[in-house]
Amino acid sequence: MNTKLGTLYGLSLGPGDSDLMTRRAWQLLSGAGHWTYPVRKKNGDSYALAIALRAGFVLPENHTPLHFPMTYNSGILARYWLEAAQTVLSRLQQGEDVLFLVEGDASTYSTFGHLQRSVLALEPTVPIEIIAGVSSYHAATARCGESLADVDDTVAIVPAGYGIDQIERLLLDFDTLVLLKVKPLLDDIIDLLRRLGLLEHSFFIEKSGAPEERIVSDVASLYGQKVNYLSLLIVKNPNRPRSEIQRGCRKKKEAVDD
């Protein structure tokens, strides 16, 4: 008899504070699923795993770190994704559920996307469930006492690696710009924000929700400093020119026009 395939869960754990974990995540961590989590180096730390352990969970015996190296070499990455997918699939084929622990939200710039695609490429019938979570930038705006968007505000969430010209262009269209992965470009971004007069409307947050969390509202003071990979910038753009916005639903407008 064929064993029923287990389910692969993209298990969002929130940004770092166990109080920001959902009840569903808590429930799954308390169950019998096999824990997997991303590591950058063999035997390296996992931020996602640390969130679960900080919440008081004990690392179960059945757990497997999955190695995803920090490289942009697509050939190397494809090899590691395939290896991770094969490891996960062999568990699923034995009928085990597999939890892939993710920092923040699993559908937002997460390694889970790669894992999901790689597993489905090997076995398209694998059941997948993504458990939504609090993203780093939702937690960050809350911690900074800011709103992500008000009324008709426009918001963009982008990896800073698109570069300074692109960031400047986005600021023409968005009231709030969330810049992820700012570490390599931080000084250049600070120069840009100074030139545009937006430094005083910007916030930096590192390891939001973790005990080492750092919130910096004097963003210029970070110039020349090394920051952690887990850091982001929220830029509010109060001077953005607004265009007309259509209010109400179409039907009502047509009725008035008639």
Ligand X SMILES: C[S@@+](CC[C@H](N)C(=O)[O-])C[C@H]1O[C@@H](n2cnc3c(N)ncnc32)[C@H](O)[C@@H]1O
Question: Residues interacting with ligand X, by CB under 6 A?
Answer: 15-16, 103-105, 108-110, 135-136, 140, 180-181, 205-209, 229-232
State in angstroms the smallest separation of the CB of 3 from ligand X.
32
Distances (CA, A) of 66 to 71, 107, 109, 111, 208: 15, 18, 17, 10, 24
Cβ 231 to ligand X, closest distance in Å?
A: 5
How many angstroms separate the CA atoms of 77 and 26, rounded? 31
Give the pairing of strands 231-236 and 176-180: antiparallel
CB of 10 to ligand X, least distance (A): 10
We find the least distance from the C-beta atom of residue 227 to ligand X, in angstroms, to be 10
Closer Cβ to ligand X, 93 or 217, answer by number: 217
Nearer to ligand X, 40 or 93 (CB): 40
Closer residue to ligand X (CB): 33 or 104: 104
CB-wise, 6 or 104, nearer to ligand X? 104
CB-count exposure of residue 184 (10 Å: 0-12, 13-18, 19+): exposed
In the complex, minimum distance from the CB of residue 132 to ligand X, in angstroms, rounded to a whole number: 10
Using Cβ positions, the residue closest to ligand X within the complex turns out to be 104
d(CA 248, CA 142): 29
Closer CB to ligand X, 93 or 155, in the complex: 155
Q: Which amino acid, residue 112?
A: F
Select 175 or 206, whichever has its Cβ closest to ligand X: 206
